[in-house]
Amino acid sequence: MEGLSVADAQRCILETIRQLGSEEVPLQQALGRTLAEDVQANRDQPPYDVSAMDGYALRSADVTQSPTVLKVIADIKAGDLPTCTVQAGQCARIMTGAPVPQGADAVIRVEDTQALTADTVQINVPVKPRNDIRDRGESMRCGATILPRGTELTPGAVGLLAMVKRAQVAVYRRPRVAILSTGDELEGLDEPFDANKIPDANSYALMAQVQALGIEPVLLGIARDRPEHLREMLQRGLQFDALLVSGGTSVGVHDFVRPTLEQLGVQMKFWGVAMKPGHPMAFGTAPLTWVFGLPGNPVSSMVCFEQFVAPALRCMSGLPRLYRRTLNARLAHAIKHRPGRSEFVRVTLRQEGDTYIATSTGAQGSGILSSMAHAEGLLIIPAASNGFAAGDTALVQLLDGTAFQSSPAGE
């Protein structure tokens, strides 16, 4: 038995996830959070008809033919409240964002004019009514919902909140996350060097993956292979919204983790997913905590995090987009695969014209963490696949840190 499919395991997890409660945060801390309220506009924006250009506010009827010379009767900048009225043959010098004065029904940009004297200007092109005027309420109408509950607060959304003067905003709480490594073979980051031990990389790789989601996790350290110590550490972890335990979840005889979790009231939903790397992935729920049993190998653990933990943590945070973005890439080389498990191959990406080309980072052993450190994406081989030939197209899941590329757009 190979275990659940990746998709079934994702569904099994997400079916149990509840969105956490909400809290008020200052706008300075709102980026990346999910709105827990509908936000309405508190005014018309712009509050009056404004110029979209630096230029001259005029009566379009005066400039149906060009060139035309007009008299400049005022000088209006953003923030002014003009009192003048533009009459036939007149215009007002106006800046971008400044209110359009009475009488004027269009704006001509300064580039299409020529100042003749201090108070006369030649308009070089004909101008249509409403040209380069932004209408009152064009950006937002007072009372309209501009950001619905559930919106992910991107920089643009943060700007929009500032636009409606929301210095505080209700967002969903982010999960509190605990990370625990297990195993006598592990050496902690602050412990002395022992050539026979294996440094605990998992805690820190998982820490960074959680940080990449905007959450600061708590590292509980290493639980040793003594039942009472493991039990105490797991108990501490169950105080959090999410507990990530790495190691100790496979089927070996020295596995205390699963029975100990069960004794502590965790209901295991699955152990084993038909994937490579990551087969020993397990998941369970306690009344207040979701427990993710991650493989002991750092690469497996990281791949499982991306497939199962990241979507779950984002779901708890109320975020609408749960899964790492995918794109299609052409394979630089063949990849073998025996049907049975989904496989995630660490790849680098390069652009060639319109196409992304994916190349394996090399040896794919699940202990080879450097392959993960240098990867830009995970190429997905579906469970039923017989492998890919060079030039085939496959789906690549982008990894953290790949929101940016080396070349400017189109190069």
Q: By CB under 8 A, tell whether 276 contacts a copy of itself.
A: no
Count other C-beta atoms under 10 Å from residue 240's C-beta: 21
Q: Are strands 177-182 and 218-223 parallel, antiparallel or unpaired?
A: parallel
Q: By CB under 8 A, tell whether 98 contacts a copy of itself.
A: yes
Span from 83-91, 229-237, 319-327, 332-340 in contact with a copy of itself (CB under 8 A): 319-327
Q: Are 365 and 393 in contact (CB under 8 A)?
A: no
Q: x-or-dash pattern for a copy of itself, window 389-408, by CB under 8 A? A: ----x-x-xxxxxxxxxxxx
Q: Are 39 and 164 in contact (CB under 8 A)?
A: yes
Residues within window 189-218 making contact with a copy of itself, judged by CB under 8 A: 189-190, 193, 195-209, 211-212
**Residue 279 beta carbon to a copy of itself: minimum distance, rounded to whole angstroms:** 10
Q: By CB under 8 A, tell whether 126 contacts a copy of itself.
A: no
Q: Which residues of 59-82 are buried (b: 16+ CB within 10 A; e: fewer)?
A: bbebbeeeebebebbbebeeeeeb
Among 229, 172, 132, 161, which Cα is nearest to 36's?
172
Residues within window 131-150 making contact with a copy of itself, judged by CB under 8 A: 134, 138-140, 146-147
Among 160, 176, 146, 139, which Cα is nearest to 30's?
160
Residues within window 72-91 making contact with a copy of itself, judged by CB under 8 A: 75, 77-81
Residues within window 320-349 making contact with a copy of itself, judged by CB under 8 A: 320-328
* CB-nearer residue toward a copy of itself: 94 or 238: 94
Q: Tell me, what amino acid is at 186?
A: L
Interface with a copy of itself: number of residues (CB under 8 A):
130
| Bridge partners of residue 99, in order along the sequence | 50
* CB-nearer residue toward a copy of itself: 35 or 238: 35
Q: By CB under 8 A, tell whether 33 contacts a copy of itself.
A: no
Residues within window 41-70 making contact with a copy of itself, judged by CB under 8 A: 42-43, 45-48, 52, 54
Q: By CB under 8 A, tell whether 366 contacts a copy of itself.
A: yes
Cβ-in-10-Å burial (0-12, 13-18, 19+) of 21 comes to: exposed
